[in-house]
Structure 1
Amino acid sequence: MAARTFEKRRIGRTDLEVTTLGLGGASLAGIFTGVPPEQARATVAHALDAGINYVDTAPQYGLGRSEHMVGDALRERRAGVVLSSKVGRLLKPVDAEKQDKGAWVDPLPFNQVYDYSYDGVMRSFEDSQQRLGLKDIDILYVHDIGAATHGVEGNKPLWAQLASGGYKALRELRDAGVVKAIGLGVNEWQILMDAFELGDWDVFLLAGRYTLLEQTSLTPFMTTCIERGTSVVVGGPFNSGILVGGDKFNYEKAPDEIVAKVRAIETVCREFGVPLPAAALQFPLTHPAVCNVLPGPRSPQELDGILDWWDVKIPGELWTALADRELLAPGTPIPGGTA
């Protein structure tokens, strides 16, 4: 397969440049549905062959499985690839009958322990290096801190860990050149506004909150990113599948009002002869803060489908029509102006 020539965008004020399409490593680890290891490794290799240069993984994904498989695929092809992983969870060995598998099919034999402290961040980073079998991790995200994962009260002591030590660890790793960029990887933009109060960040991985269906993070979050020189990687561009024909939104069955909005968006796309998933995949990149869109295919074949959507040429008039019908939030950047 011939490699495409993807546009590249810079991560914050760093020297890192990522292709505007990336590869997310959660689905590869078998969330809800099992993925054979050879298929997962082949998907990573297929992405690199296509010209994608950004791969994201995390200790949580398959409780270590994703990092092992991503490392296998990258170990002989590390040059030129931007790799991110995450901190905030330590993996502890556990007997099978005591394991909390969550939504993972056939995870590795560990349970996760949340730890956002200085020592926890350093330990997590070193553990990820071991699982990946790689010395260099380019981007390190703080994973799933916030009320969405821990509840309002449960998050308070964990945030205190990050504020009192975890952020210091990340800064030390970045300042020493051990990692090139630091950020947070979460599903809620509000916690990222709190993160700005701790200090400077290079990039945030925000899932589901700046998509064709939902632009709740537009202001003040995305505008603050522009002011602070922080990039945004958009995860979950299909909002858990509702934008590719599924029935889930935010990992649960979509409510009627969401289904109705999706149908209205799809009607506009049909008028312009554009598949809804193609519009969903490309939409986030119309915002100047966004450097990358990060879908999570499970196989080379699924990745080929995503690449087909990526290649669809979308007329600027489609975005204008969505704005005119109030299907985009006011102020959403679109080619030629704002909604």
Structure 2
Amino acid sequence: MAAERSLPRFQPQRPLGRTGFTATAVGIGDLADRSVPLETCVATLHRAMDAGLNVLDTAPGYEDGYSERIVGEALRGRREGMFVIDKVDHLDQPVAPQVEESLRRLRLEAVDLFVFHNLSKLETWERLAAPGGGLEELERCVREGKARFRGISSHHPDVLRAALESGRCDVVMFPVGPFVHPRYVEETLPLARAKGVGTVCFKTFGAGKLLGDTEGYGRPLASRPRGKVSSGGAEASAPSLPSLGVEECVHYTLTLGPDVALLGMSFPNEQDAALQAAASFQPLTTARMVDVRRRAVRAMEGKGAVWWNP
């Protein structure tokens, strides 16, 4: 059996907004697969933590609470120095019971950040931010010590602008990568920096669409072109459609400079690719950024809806 490949070591280097926490440039995105035993998932998460990554993201809706269980188990005896993000999934339901249920699954007394998950309609933000709304509930949870900070995760620049202008978010989460609406980069990122709000970003790989033939997160294409086949008749793992490489996606995102880029790394081979790419980062030239964006447009064609763009 071949020896396991060692990962590069990452050091905290970026202030996460005004939180006072110094984060690694890349963080650990959702890690959950119910077909994989809990202890295996925990070992994979420990592998990323051993590489020094100190921002960890989860949500109750990721594999129906399985992600939170994995995170909670992985943090047993290793909570110190980790910035743990969890989410309020149901925006039309009371906040406090959802926070309590998440903490129960995590078996933690508190996390660092709770955000409203996929808050992507302006009217929903206005309802939550209104007197007596869900944001007041979340702020009460912060005062009670169940979280240190509050924020939102959003797929709409209008919502992000309203949230940032309100002064009631410590961290915002939103898409940044080779294929995102330019407003996220030209408007949201600079405004968050100006307000001292932390930026934790996702969609570096466009939900996997930029890397392979999928409609997102491993879902097969509804209408798939003829591609290469293996000798056994199964479709080969190599993409048939245009695609980008892991390294150029990671380098593109890091060149834009969010505080943290969350990378999905559910398996050791995914960690190898993503973290080796991050370790070799050098800012891309303007010409190279333009080229990656151009090819990203081609790589997204025929791969279904892009739900993270307005």
TM-score calculated relative to the size of structure 2: 0.76
Quote the offset at 1:67 in angstroms.
0.6
Q: Secondary structure at the match of 2:161?
A: helix
Query: Counterparts in 2 of 1:1-339, with a 5 A limit?
Result: 1=6, 4-25=9-30, 27-30=31-34, 34-89=35-90, 114-116=91-93, 120-147=94-121, 156=123, 159-164=126-131, 165-175=133-143, 178-206=146-174, 209-216=175-182, 217-248=184-215, 253=221, 263=242, 266=244, 276-288=245-257, 290-314=258-282, 316-317=284-285, 319-323=286-290, 327=294
Letter in 2 for 1:144: N
Residues 242 and 254 in structure 1, CA contact (< 8 A), matched pair in contact too: no
Point out where structure 2 has 5 or more consecutive residues left out of the alignment: 1-5, 225-240, 296-310
Q: Secondary structure at the match of 1:135?
A: coil
**Judging changes above 3 Å, is the alpha-carbon distance between structure 1 residues 140 and 194 closer, same or farther for their aligned structure 2 residues?**
same
More strand by share: 1
Q: Secondary structure at the match of 2:96?
A: helix
Quote the offset at 1:292 in angstroms.
0.7
**Judging changes above 3 Å, is the alpha-carbon distance between structure 1 residues 59 and 159 closer, same or farther for their aligned structure 2 residues?**
farther
Letter in 1 for 2:100: E
**Judging changes above 3 Å, is the alpha-carbon distance between structure 1 residues 8 and 177 closer, same or farther for their aligned structure 2 residues?**
farther
Identity within the alignment, %: 27
Cα deviation per residue 1:105-162 (whole Å; 9 max; x = unaligned)? xxxxxxxxx535xxx2222111111110111200111112224xxxxxxx84675145
Quote the offset at 1:14 in angstroms.
1.4
**Judging changes above 3 Å, is the alpha-carbon distance between structure 1 residues 13 and 176 closer, same or farther for their aligned structure 2 residues?**
farther
Residues 53 and 80 in structure 1, CA contact (< 8 A), matched pair in contact too: yes
**Judging changes above 3 Å, is the alpha-carbon distance between structure 1 residues 311 and 223 closer, same or farther for their aligned structure 2 residues?**
closer
Residues 234 and 294 in structure 1, CA contact (< 8 A), matched pair in contact too: yes
**Judging changes above 3 Å, is the alpha-carbon distance between structure 1 residues 313 and 64 closer, same or farther for their aligned structure 2 residues?**
closer
Letter in 2 for 1:242: K
**Judging changes above 3 Å, is the alpha-carbon distance between structure 1 residues 286 and 177 closer, same or farther for their aligned structure 2 residues?**
farther
In the alignment, the residues of structure 1 paired with residue 292 and residue 20 of structure 2 have an alpha-carbon distance, to the nearest angstrom, of 40
**Judging changes above 3 Å, is the alpha-carbon distance between structure 1 residues 203 and 191 closer, same or farther for their aligned structure 2 residues?**
same
**Judging changes above 3 Å, is the alpha-carbon distance between structure 1 residues 178 and 284 closer, same or farther for their aligned structure 2 residues?**
same
TM-score calculated relative to the size of structure 1: 0.70
Residues 251 and 283 in structure 2, CA contact (< 8 A), matched pair in contact too: no
In the alignment, the residues of structure 1 paired with residue 276 and residue 8 of structure 2 have an alpha-carbon distance, to the nearest angstrom, of 13
Q: Secondary structure at the match of 1:62?
A: coil
Quote the offset at 1:186 in angstroms.
2.6
Residues 75 and 134 in structure 1, CA contact (< 8 A), matched pair in contact too: no
In the alignment, the residues of structure 2 paired with residue 5 and residue 233 of structure 1 have an alpha-carbon distance, to the nearest angstrom, of 17
More helix by share: 1
Residues 204 and 233 in structure 1, CA contact (< 8 A), matched pair in contact too: yes
Letter in 2 for 1:24: G
In the alignment, the residues of structure 2 paired with residue 167 and residue 138 of structure 1 have an alpha-carbon distance, to the nearest angstrom, of 16
Quote the offset at 1:244 in angstroms.
2.0
Point out where structure 1 has 5 or more consecutive residues left out of the alignment: 90-113, 148-154, 257-261, 267-275, 329-339
Aligned length: 272
Letter in 2 for 1:211: G
Q: Secondary structure at the match of 2:9?
A: coil
Quote the offset at 1:15 in angstroms.
1.2
Residues 82 and 138 in structure 1, CA contact (< 8 A), matched pair in contact too: yes
Cα deviation per residue 1:7-29 (whole Å; 9 max; x = unaligned)? 4211211112221111112x414
Residues 58 and 64 in structure 1, CA contact (< 8 A), matched pair in contact too: yes
Letter in 2 for 1:81: M
Residues 41 and 73 in structure 1, CA contact (< 8 A), matched pair in contact too: yes
**Judging changes above 3 Å, is the alpha-carbon distance between structure 1 residues 174 and 254 closer, same or farther for their aligned structure 2 residues?**
farther
